[in-house]
Amino acid sequence: MPQSLHCKYGHIVFSTKNREPMISAEIEPRLYEYLGGIVRGAKAHLLEINGTEDHVHLLIRESKSVNDQSFIGQLKGDSSRWVNETIQELGRFSWQNGYGWFSVGPADVETAANYIRNQKQHHQNVSFEDEYRQFLKRYRVKYDEQYVWD
């Protein structure tokens, strides 16, 4: 086969350090735009982004040329550096150390996108911690509760 084709989707989730409510409605659009730029720079495609004041969800079509850990390091590192250099009124901004990256099948992309679009409504009833635990259980990820949060 002369071509190498690739179609992989991921639902990425991570929170602010200690789930501090640092993503206000005023900075949210700028932060999401910046995160989208990082995704595009990595030759991936951002399909959906949303979250709340303490965490963010991204749905991406992954790039075949970037490994997951490098991508996440760039996504979180560059964006937190940008927030700290650009939006001083926030104080010290940082993301949690960990993250969740969950596979999404092509048939489930629209369902995942709708889920992400409805984050603010969803979190009127469910905490980030409970939501994240549900993801870990749904994807059968073994975890130790004492190491999930920072």
- Identify the CATH number of the domain in which residue 76 sits: 3.30.70.1290
Joined together, the tokens standing for residue 93 give 């901004």
Q: Can you tell me the mean pLDDT for 78-104?
A: 89
The CA-based angle 4-100-32, given to 5 degrees, is 85
Does the residue 69 lie in any domain?
Answer: yes
Residues near 67 by beta carbon (within 8 Å), at least 6 away in sequence: none
Does the residue 1 lie in any domain?
Answer: no
pLDDT for the residue numbered 90 = 65
Each residue's pLDDT tens digit, 26-67: 999 999 999 999 999 999 999 999 999 999 999 999 988 878
| CA atoms of 111 and 98, how far apart (whole Å) | 25
Does the residue 107 lie in any domain?
Answer: yes
* Predicted TM-score (pTM) of this structure: 0.92
pLDDT at 86 over 70: yes
pLDDT for the residue numbered 111 = 97
Does the residue 125 lie in any domain?
Answer: yes
Asked if 79 and 147 touch (Cβ cutoff 8 Å), the reply is no
Does the residue 80 lie in any domain?
Answer: yes
| CA atoms of 24 and 106, how far apart (whole Å) | 32
Count of domains for the chain: 1
Does the residue 2 lie in any domain?
Answer: no
Domain extent at residue 14:
9-148
Does the residue 46 lie in any domain?
Answer: yes
| CA atoms of 137 and 114, how far apart (whole Å) | 20
pLDDT at 16 over 90: yes
